[in-house]
Structure 1
Amino acid sequence: MSAFSDYLENTLINATLRGANYTGGGVYVALFTADPTDAGTGAELNDSAYVRQRAHTSTPSDGFTVPANGSSSNARNMVFPAIVDAQKTITHWGVFDAQNAGNLLYHAPMQNPKTLDPTDVLSFPIGSLIVTLS
């Protein structure tokens, strides 16, 4: 089960109940070594080779599947570069609207936290990152 960030909760309330516009942004998947929390205060992976991965190829809408029953999943393989600095344990993942900085939109714990040693590559096959709204 994924969670909304505080930013997205407020943005959706403003858009659906108060007439504000929301155009979204990019769709980038991030890795965390601690729970990012709804406030986006958790520890994003810190490694000199790490970079958030763009979920989409040509338009933001092609990064995740068409929603069905309140769920959507990654529509392509997500492959992160090998870490290089030191062993890290990835406990959570999240979706941001920008490759750097930006706003956390969704976040979820890893079903099985993954400890990565230098040169290890973390990847998510199609359909393995699921955002569910309920």
Structure 2
Amino acid sequence: MAEFTDYAENKILNLLRNIAWAQFPAYVALFTTAPNDAGEGTEVSGAGYARQLAGLSEAVGSGGATSNASDITFPTAEEDWGTVTHIALYDAESGGNMIMHSALDAEKAVGDGDTFKINAGDLDVTVA
């Protein structure tokens, strides 16, 4: 993942001020436009779409990185979702706050009956 949102940057800075940031499971969202640091963008909203649990593995070592431990498979599209160009991590399955966002290595058109999948180990999250 490439960029933290303003929300996440402020939460990280507040940790240095001894202001807690509650733990949360990370959910992956799909976007058809580039999200910005304010957490705005066009999230997929077609029939069948739902954010999916990221299932990140424990960050170990000195690399400041983690990735998804297993495949992340979105529900089968029940209509055209458009061309997915970006992904984001949220702190909730719906609503919530965007934490990070990034462009996909390759855009993917998701049509009626298609399934969007991120293979295990392909969602790389690095804090450096």
Contact 2:51 2:94 in 1 (8 A): yes
CA distance in 2, matches of 1:28, 1:64: 14
- In the alignment, does 2:36 pair up with 1:32? no
> Alpha-carbon deviations, 1:47-105, whole Å to 9, x = none?
1210000123xxxxxx3342441221111110001112225100001111100101111
Q: Hey, which bits of structure 1, 4+ residues long, moved more than 3 A?
A: none
Q: What is the deviation of 1:126? A: 0.7
Query: In structure 2, what is the equivalent of residue 111 of structure 1?
Result: 105
Partners in 1 of 2:94 and 2:23 — Cα distance? 15
Letter of the structure 2 residue corresponding to residue 5 of structure 1: T
Query: Does the 8 A contact of 1:83 with 1:120 survive in 2?
Result: yes
Alpha-carbon distance in structure 2 between the residues aligned to 1:44 and 1:87: 10
Match 2:122 to one of 119, 128, 132: 128
Deviation at 1:46, TM superposition (A): 1.3
CA RMSD of aligned residues (A): 1.4
Which of these residues, 96, 102, 108, is aligned with residue 96 of structure 2? 102
Contact 2:52 2:93 in 1 (8 A): yes
Consecutive unaligned residues in structure 1, runs of 5 or more: 57-62
Unaligned 5+ residue runs, structure 2? none
1:80 aligned to which of 74, 79, 88: 74
What's the TM-score, normalizing by structure 2? 0.92
Query: 1:65–1:75: 8 Å Cα contact kept in structure 2?
Result: no
The CA distance in 2 between the partners of 1:89 and 1:70, in whole Å, is: 31
Shift of 1:106: 1.1
TM-score (norm 1): 0.88
